[in-house]
């Protein structure tokens, strides 16, 4: 990748950010990958509205806005060098690399951050943040990008025409286009050349009362850096943890009300 | 003159009758698609066969939308349900389990009819054309792990 191009973009965004983030004295702008900026402004508490339980729905029951699925990631527990979540995701969704890192599909990736001044390093998994007001949904010309009633942002690939506007709009660089023919797909991710895809928060598992593959793997590795649960249910583990210790959105300045939150940024 | 015309009519009539008779035999000789049904005869389709022959696409298309948008996951009506029940390995003459015909072959349940009826569906560009239990995935090796680790670990520096 041509770094010079990206740093140009980053500079102008930084200027923009420093203007918009006056409210915060501790504004920090983080470039986490070429073209992707994270800005840490204020600790935001998760939105928690009137509760509902995490009851698993019946197979023939439609999803509803009773639930809002989310994830909380504790960066202090996320081990650098561990790719457990990434591997589990690739296996669950049958994602095969073609040794072309710039275009190979990534639903989730590990990002390593280093603070130049303090030398402090941290590692975190980055995936679709499942925004409430998702830019990818705003720009989609066909309605293929949509937010499910329970907050999961998806691509209806049956309607996707592969224009990639959503990829450009996503501030987290969370989406990929399938560039090659695929066969022997998994049930979790039917996927084929010419459509856009991203983290589905493992809808096929969630609809059956399960948890996403990445969260399962992180727990199995005994790192316990990821919690999955219902942000609308005040008694869920994720809501309790958010209430006690808080959790930040990446780029809170964009006011996207993300479903994925981070601790220790 | 009239006589001549009448003769002409009779003649064309004769030709028409004989060609349609020929066509008739042609239709009778056209091979109908061989549709392989599940070997286990105790299995039942989600609807009677004649209804399925006519309207199967409506069932799957409806299922597609309610599953993707509303998370309704009623197995038998799903596309993977059709595939699980309808796609089986060939039985070799030795009685052993053979290969599974890919969706490109007219031995595949869906393609058997579609090729005959000149229907083209794109479903199998994304959906597996066979039950998951017959898919062996061996790519998830440690070399892939390393490759992914390199590709997916982007390091960036924090500016203050």
ipTM value:
0.78
Average pLDDT of every residue of chain B:
79
What pLDDT band is residue B148 in, cutting at 50, 70 and 90?
low
Distance between CA atoms of A188 and A205, rounded to whole angstroms? 8
B22: pLDDT strictly greater than 70: no
Residue from A225, A148, A154, A141 nearest A188 by CA: A154
Bigger pLDDT: B127 or A21?
Answer: B127
pLDDT for residue B146: 52
The region of weakest confidence among A203-217, B60-74, B94-108 is: B94-108
Contact A111 B154 (CB under 8 A): yes
For testing contact with chain B, the best of A83, A121, A124 (most B CBs within 10 A): A83
pLDDT for residue A38: 57
pLDDT for residue A28: 43
pLDDT for residue B98: 86
What pLDDT band is residue B66 in, cutting at 50, 70 and 90?
very high
How does strand A153-155 pair with strand A145-147? antiparallel
Burial class (CB in 10 A: 0-12, 13-18, 19+), A52: middle
- Supply the DSSP symbol for A259: S
Please tell me which of the candidates B69, B144, B158 has its beta carbon nearest to residue A115.
B158
The listed range with the strongest mean pLDDT (A148-152, B39-43, B71-75, B144-148) is A148-152
Cβ atoms of residues A261 and A248 within 8 Å: yes
Cβ atoms of residues B87 and B130 within 8 Å: yes
pLDDT for residue B36: 87
Within a 10 A sphere around the Cβ of A88, how many other Cβ atoms? 22
Residue from A29, A243, A217 nearest A107 by CA: A217
* φ/ψ (deg, to 5) at A84: -55, -45
Q: pLDDT tens, B7-17? A: 555 445 444 44
Architecture of the domain whose range is A4-263: 2-Layer Sandwich (3.30)
Structure tokens at A177: 């286009």
Question: Across chain B, where does the E strand assignment appear?
Answer: 154-159
Residue B69 forms contact with A (CB below 8 Å): yes
Which residues from chain A sit within 8 angstroms of residue B159, using beta carbons? 14, 29-31, 116
pLDDT for residue B21: 47
In the predicted model, what is the mean pLDDT of residues B64-91? 93
Contact B72 A182 (CB under 8 A): no
pLDDT for residue A81: 86
The low-confidence residues of chain A, meaning pLDDT below 70, are 1-55
- Output the pTM of the full model: 0.82
For testing contact with chain A, the best of B126, B149, B150 (most A CBs within 10 A): B126
What pLDDT band is residue B139 in, cutting at 50, 70 and 90?
low
Rg for chain B (alpha carbons), in Å?
27
Residue A91 forms contact with B (CB below 8 Å): yes
Structure tokens at B47: 């609807």
Structure tokens at A97: 């690399």
pLDDT for residue A265: 86
């Amino acid at each position: 990748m041509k770094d010079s191009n990206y740093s140009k973009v980053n500079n102008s965004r930084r200027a923009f950010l420093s203007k918009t983030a006056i409210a915060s004295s501790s504004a920090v702008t983080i470039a986490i990958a070429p073209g992707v900026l994270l800005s840490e402004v204020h600790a935001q508490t998760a939105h928690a509205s009137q509760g509902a339980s995490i009851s698993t729905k019946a197979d023939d029951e439609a999803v509803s806005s009773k639930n809002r699925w989310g994830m909380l990631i504790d960066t202090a527990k996320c081990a650098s060098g561990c790719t457990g979540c990434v591997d589990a995701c690739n296996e669950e969704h049958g994602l095969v690399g073609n040794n072309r890192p710039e275009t190979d599909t990534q639903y989730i990736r590990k990002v390593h951050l280093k603070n130049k001044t303090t030398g402090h390093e941290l590692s975190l998994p980055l995936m679709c943040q499942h925004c409430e007001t998702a830019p990818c949904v705003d720009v989609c010309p066909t309605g293929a990008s949509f937010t499910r009633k329970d907050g999961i942002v998806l691509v209806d690939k049956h309607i996707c025409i592969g224009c990639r506007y959503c990829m450009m709009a996503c501030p987290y660089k969370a989406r990929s286009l399938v560039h090659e023919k695929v066969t022997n797909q998994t049930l979790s991710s039917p996927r084929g050349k010419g459509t856009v895809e991203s983290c589905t928060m493992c809808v096929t598992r969630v609809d059956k009362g399960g948890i996403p593959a990445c969260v399962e793997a992180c727990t199995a590795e005994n790192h316990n850096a990821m919690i999955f649960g219902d942000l609308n249910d005040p008694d869920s583990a994720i809501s309790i943890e958010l209430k006690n210790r808080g959790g930040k959105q990446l780029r809170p300045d964009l006011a996207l009300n993300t479903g994925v939150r981070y601790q220790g940024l | 003159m009239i006589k001549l015309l009448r003769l002409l009519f009779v003649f064309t009539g004769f030709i028409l009758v004989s060609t349609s008779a020929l066509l008739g035999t042609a239709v009778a000789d056209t091979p109908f698609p061989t549709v392989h049904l599940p070997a286990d005869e105790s299995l039942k389709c989600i609807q009677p066969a004649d209804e399925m022959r006519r309207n199967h696409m409506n069932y799957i298309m409806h299922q597609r939308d309610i599953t993707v948008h509303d998370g309704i996951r009623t197995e038998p009506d799903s596309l993977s349900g059709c595939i699980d029940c309808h796609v089986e390995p060939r039985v070799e003459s030795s009685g052993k389990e053979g290969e599974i015909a890919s969706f490109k072959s007219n031995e595949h349940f869906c393609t058997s009819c579609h090729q005959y009826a000149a229907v083209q569906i794109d479903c199998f560009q994304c959906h597996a054309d066979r039950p998951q239990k017959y898919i062996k995935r061996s790519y998830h090796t440690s070399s892939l792990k390393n490759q992914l680790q390199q590709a997916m670990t982007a390091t960036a520096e924090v500016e203050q």
